[in-house]
Chains A and B, each alone.
Chain A
């Protein structure tokens, strides 16, 4: 247990539905990252925050994806109008500023039927 938690751990939804995932980072960590991972691939960067500011979002990410980190604590990732191609493991990680170590949560596995 790294201290980063994610909920839910599993989500099954029908195509076209909206889903929201939550990540609670290690409390003193100011940076929070979202990644997507499919089988046999490395984590794919989605977006990251420093405190409550969203510093960067992947250019490959469609407008259906949005993330927030109100008050610089927990974060939510929402996917609107889900598609089968969105099926993946969604990972959250947190870190402290300049340090190169990220602590990953257990992930949320999304299955879109």
Chain B
């Protein structure tokens, strides 16, 4: 089976740095994605790591360690608009095609940014 764990809530002030950790268990692994979702909105894609290491996109960075089954999303220079839920999602292996499979999402981390 699969399982993902991420903290339920993180609170930080504007301008701070926040790290959201995600640990996962899966029978086949192809990559780890991160999504942002504002209240009432749909999830929007932030990043995808298929290989170990750090990927940087503006103020957001994502890291993956496949040997540790662990990744994190780093939010820098926090802004009020970053208040949202953040989800990690593991991509598994599709058995019949032996190729990229479905995504399983974590329960999400609510990030609250205060002035």
Contacts and interface: CB of A to CB of B under 8 A. Distances in A.
Counting chain A CB atoms within 10 Å of each CB, the highest count among B91, B99, B101, B102 belongs to B102
A43 B96 contact: no
A2 B44 CA distance: 9
A42 B48 contact: no
A44 B101 contact: no
Contacts of A98: 99-100
Contacts of B42: 2, 91, 104-107
Interface residues of A, number: 26
Contacts of B71: none
Counting chain B CB atoms within 10 Å of each CB, the highest count among A40, A55, A100, A103 belongs to A100
A50 to B, nearest CB: 8
A56 B91 contact: no
Contacts of B108: 40-42
Given A2-B42, A91-B42, A105-B42, A100 B105 contact: no
A111 interface: no
Interface of A: 2, 33, 35, 40-45, 48, 50, 55-56, 91, 93, 97-107
Contact of A91 (B43, B91, B102, B106): B43
Taking residues whose C-beta sits less than 8 angstroms from the other chain, chain B's interface range is 20 to 34
Given A55-B94, A55-B96, A104 B43 contact: yes
Contacts of B31: 100
A102 B105 contact: no
A101 B48 contact: yes
Contact of B44 (A44, A48, A56, A104): A104
Contacts of A106: 42
B111 to A, nearest CB: 14
B50 interface: yes
Nearest to A92: B42
Contacts of B99: 98
A45 B91 contact: no
B104 interface: yes
A45 B107 contact: no
A106 B43 CA distance: 9
